[in-house]
């Protein structure tokens, strides 16, 4: 299939660009899920009544593809119960009543790194996962299953979704941590070169990252075209390499890490503090004072919105992430997660969806898809239950970026159709494998 790395020009609406991260005061309570990553939920290692501090291990990695979970406040464990997650699955969540002191666990100390094995273990213990939204445990990327030779370590600083600026803020405010992480990573792992990719509309982040350049680390300024931050898109634009269907970046010699992920690794290496808080963009037309907030993982979204002045108008929708690929949440009691990079609240004016009309076969969806997928053919094959037709149309390649729906004049539910098509193919593959 032809590999067309096209895209769309979305309105940036970076209202919080240049805003520093503001620390949220200690929340009254946090609810920390044991599953904030791809793979198996972590195993709870605390009990109701236990006293914990910031950085206390509360759920331990279970299996290779899993991740440690740490307390983000000091206080007492008051409840452990299942929580319905945004993925539709349930996992245990640990409720901690904060004592307001935000005391740090005595075991939080910088790790000693003398080898690649030490560094890999440190990344595992940090609890860091893909913080751009994917949630893949980072230490696995660097060779948890087997040693890897990395030709290009790609740092994703594109941040191409509208509204979101939290990665850009992190690149500016945590540039020392990013620089330290990259120096250690390139010292102990086999990495030929590091490429930091940033869209050109982020001058402050570009300036901060340019200071890290050396013989091995280079910054590449990219056009501001969505979905520039998509993993396969970014790899192609920075290296010219194409990641085949069903393969990972490492299969073409690349590892891709979000810029905030690298900053978190740097923080852990320097201080021993694991992933317990996130810088998140708080925005949307219903929010009184949009800003970037550094919030403890597990605190309720409502506390974050209240910190930003609350709402100025009735809220019709709240989402994790950006408007192109974000996930709608049922209410504002849900917690900030490891992968949360933004929470957006929209009024009915911006949430209102146009009624779909008949497809006019204009080809806009096909012409703007980064991978040249044919959504019209997918819809027809889905309707006819034609599995071979779904494969030929490229349904499995869809990364659900939403470019097709964005440009569709008929406002067809294209992304939803593509999701259903992928599920149908996955179900067929699962049955065939039995």
If asked whether residues 257 and 397 sit together in one domain, one would say: no
Domain residue limits at 372: 364-432
How far is residue 348 CA from its own chain's centroid? Answer: 26
Model pTM score: 0.94
In a domain, 322, yes or no: no
Write out pLDDT tens, residues 43-67.
999 999 999 999 999 999 998 899 9
**Domain limit, last residue, from 212, 245, 271:** 271
In a domain, 137, yes or no: yes
Q: Number of structural domains, the chain?
A: 2
Write out pLDDT tens, residues 226-273.
999 999 999 999 999 999 988 999 999 999 999 999 999 999 999 999
**d(C-alpha 396, C-alpha 413), whole Å:** 17
Q: Report the CATH number at residue 229.
A: 3.40.50.11540
Write out pLDDT tens, residues 287-338.
999 999 999 999 999 999 999 999 999 999 999 999 999 999 999 999 999 9
Residue 73 is predicted with a pLDDT of 98
In a domain, 292, yes or no: no
**Domain limit, last residue, from 271, 303, 326:** 271
If asked whether residues 121 and 250 sit together in one domain, one would say: yes
**d(C-alpha 167, C-alpha 205), whole Å:** 9
In a domain, 405, yes or no: yes
Question: What are the backbone angles phi and psi of residue 396, rounded to the nearest 5°?
Answer: -70, -20
**d(C-alpha 127, C-alpha 273), whole Å:** 10
**Domain limit, last residue, from 212, 239, 271:** 271
Coil, strand or helix at 151:
strand
If asked whether residues 368 and 267 sit together in one domain, one would say: no
Both tokens assigned to 377 = 């053919």
If asked whether residues 248 and 390 sit together in one domain, one would say: no
**d(C-alpha 120, C-alpha 139), whole Å:** 6
């Amino acid at each position: 299939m032809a590999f067309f790395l096209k895209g769309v020009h979305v309105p940036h609406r970076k209202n919080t660009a240049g805003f520093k991260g503001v620390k949220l005061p200690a929340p009254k309570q946090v609810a920390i899920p044991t599953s904030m990553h791809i793979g198996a939920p972590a195993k709870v290692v605390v009990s109701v009544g236990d006293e914990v501090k910031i950085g206390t291990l509360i759920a331990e990695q279970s299996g290779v593809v899993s991740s440690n979970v740490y307390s983000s406040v000091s206080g007492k464990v008051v409840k452990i119960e299942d929580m319905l997650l945004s993925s539709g699955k349930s996992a245990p969540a640990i409720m901690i009543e904060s004592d307001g002191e935000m005391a740090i666990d005595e075991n939080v100390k910088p790790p000693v790194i003398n080898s690649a094995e030490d560094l890999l273990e440190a990344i595992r213990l940090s609890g860091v996962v893909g913080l751009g939204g994917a949630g893949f445990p980072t230490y696995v990327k660097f060779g948890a299953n087997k040693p890897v030779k990395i030709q290009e370590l790609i740092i994703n600083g594109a941040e191409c979704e509208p509204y979101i600026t939290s990665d850009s803020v992190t690149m500016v405010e945590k540039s020392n941590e990013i620089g330290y992480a990259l120096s250690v990573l390139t010292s102990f792992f086999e990495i030929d070169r590091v490429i930091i990719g940033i869209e050109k509309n982020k001058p402050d982040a570009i300036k901060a990252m340019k200071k890290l350049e050396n013989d091995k680390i280079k910054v590449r300024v990219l056009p501001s075209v969505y979905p520039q931050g998509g993993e396969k898109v970014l790899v192609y634009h920075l290296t010219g390499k194409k990641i085949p269907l069903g393969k990972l970046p490492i299969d073409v010699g690349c590892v891709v890490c979000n810029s905030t992920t690298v900053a978190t690794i740097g923080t852990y290496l320097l201080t021993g503090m694991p992933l317990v808080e996130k810088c998140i963009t708080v925005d949307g037309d219903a929010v009184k004072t949009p800003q970037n907030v550094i919030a403890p993982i597990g605190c309720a979204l409502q506390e974050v919105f209240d910190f930003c002045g609350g709402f100025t108008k009735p809220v019709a929708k709240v989402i994790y992430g950006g408007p192109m690929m974000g996930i709608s949440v049922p209410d504002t009691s849900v917690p900030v997660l490891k992968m949360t990079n933004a929470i957006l609240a929209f009024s009915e004016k911006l949430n209102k969806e146009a009624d779909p009309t008949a497809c006019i076969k204009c080809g806009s969806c096909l012409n703007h898809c980064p991978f040249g997928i044919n959504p019209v053919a997918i819809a027809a094959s889905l309707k006819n239950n034609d599995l071979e037709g779904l494969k030929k149309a490229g349904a499995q390649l869809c990364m659900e970026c939403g470019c097709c729906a964005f440009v569709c004049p008929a406002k067809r539910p294209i992304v939803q159709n593509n999701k259903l098509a992928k599920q149908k193919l996955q179900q067929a593959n699962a049955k065939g494998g039995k």
